[in-house]
Amino acid sequence: MCLAIPARVVQIAANDQAIVDLGGVRKDISLALVEDVAVGDYVIVHVGYALTRLDPDEAEKTLALMAEAGIAPEAA
């Protein structure tokens, strides 16, 4: 089973790299597959790559549902 999760971009780095935050966990990811991402945006992350940008309200709803199900930390 594969799982892609919403994460908030907290820093943009060189070479299509970024740091995302999910409930206090920070991870380096690639933005090579997504254009026009800015700090504060939510992206869907899978295997270290941002796959798409996500509406902030939808990201928060998804993170809350995942937390309720016990499979992700509380939404930031």
Encode pLDDT of 21-76 as tens digits: 987 899 999 999 999 999 999 999 999 999 999 999 998 898 888 888 887 655 44
Q: How many helices (H) and strands (E) does the chain have?
A: 1, 5
Label the pairing between strands 42-46 and 25-30.
unpaired
Hey, where are the domains in the chain? 5-68
Q: Report whether 8 contacts 42 (CB < 8 A).
A: yes
- N- to C-terminal Cα separation, the chain: 25
> Has domain 5-68 been given CATH number 2.60.120.620?
no
Its pTM stands at: 0.84
Decide: helix, strand or coil at residue 18: strand
4-20 average pLDDT score: 95
For residues 65 and 38, give the distance between their C-alpha atoms in angstroms, rounded to a whole number. Answer: 25
